């Protein structure tokens, strides 16, 4: 039996993302759902997420900055990029992230 790997993919720095108008620093080179886990380590791991692009509970709408168009995607698949703005969250994500400080 092998030991489980690290939760986060290796990263060297945190990058700024915006979640419903509030800025947060999250690890680069990880998926958005991992970034949410970084922000809410007490709740996201216990969410009903498959982490595998099947359940759809991690759906978000987002854009990549001022002047870009909004699109919908799965946060277990989308990679964090600086300046990404998460506009809407699926219900399970809203529940898991309900304790985050807002601006
Ligand atoms: S966590 Fe299930 S589809 Fe993303």
Q: Which of the four pLDDT bands, split at 50, 70 and 90, describes residue 103?
A: low
pLDDT digits (tens, 9 = 90+) for 54-70: 999 999 999 999 999 99
pLDDT of residue 1 exceeding 70: no
Q: Tell me the pairing of strands 59-63 and 14-19.
A: unpaired
Reported as a single tens digit per residue, the pLDDT across 15-47 is: 999 999 999 999 999 999 999 999 999 999 999
43-58 pLDDT per residue, tens: 999 999 999 999 999 9
- Compute, in angstroms, the gap from residue 89 CA to the centroid of ligand 1: 12
User: CATH top-level class for 14-96?
Assistant: alpha beta
Atom of ligand 1 nearest to the CA of 57: 2
SS3 content of the chain, % helix, strand, coil (to 5): 15, 25, 55
> Mean pLDDT, the chain, as a whole number?
95
């Amino acid at each position: 039996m092998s030991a489980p790997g690290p939760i986060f993919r290796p990263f060297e720095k945190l990058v700024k993302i915006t979640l419903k108008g509030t800025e947060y620093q999250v690890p680069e080179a990880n998926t958005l759902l991992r970034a949410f886990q970084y922000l809410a380590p007490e709740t996201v791991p216990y969410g009903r997420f498959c982490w595998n692009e099947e359940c759809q509970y991690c759906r978000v709408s987002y854009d990549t900055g001022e002047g870009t168009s909004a699109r919908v995607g799965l946060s277990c698949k989308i990679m964090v990029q600086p300046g990404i703005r998460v506009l809407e969250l699926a219900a399970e994500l809203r529940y898991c992230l309900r304790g985050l400080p807002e601006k």
